[in-house]
Amino acid sequence: MDNYLKKQLYHWVFHKIKSNPKKFGGDFSNPLIMMEYLKEFYYSYRIYELEPELMSVITTISRIKNKILKKYPQLDFRVKYKKKKKLNTPYR
């Protein structure tokens, strides 16, 4: 996948998350954002007609989404996999 497509995907994913952070920035948002991509760009295809490269694009969308949520925590509504804050108290 070339860098131009990755940049386009980044902007698309960012705007999707920003438009509905609870839907696309939540715990179960990976399949939702992937499905949204398929609906927008491959609406005329049937699942068995999709090419293997598409799965690479979908995986990239998921990775980009996770990077965006890490960079913009105000859009991150995930609870399930967030790291728990550790208390810095020494053990006795």
pLDDT band of residue 84 (cuts 50, 70, 90) is low
pTM summary value: 0.64
- Report pLDDT digits (tens) over 6-50: 999 999 999 999 999 999 898 878 888 888 888 888 888 776 576
pLDDT for residue 9? 94
Task: Flag whether pLDDT at 76 surpasses 70.
Answer: yes
- Helix (H), strand (E), coil (C) string for the chain: CCHHHHHHHHHHHHHHHHHCHHHHCECCHHHHHHHHHHHHHCCCCCHHHCCHHHHHHHHHHHHHHHHHHHHCHHHCECCCCCCCCCCCCCCC
Task: Return the pLDDT at 81.
Answer: 62
Please state the domain extents for the chain: 3-75
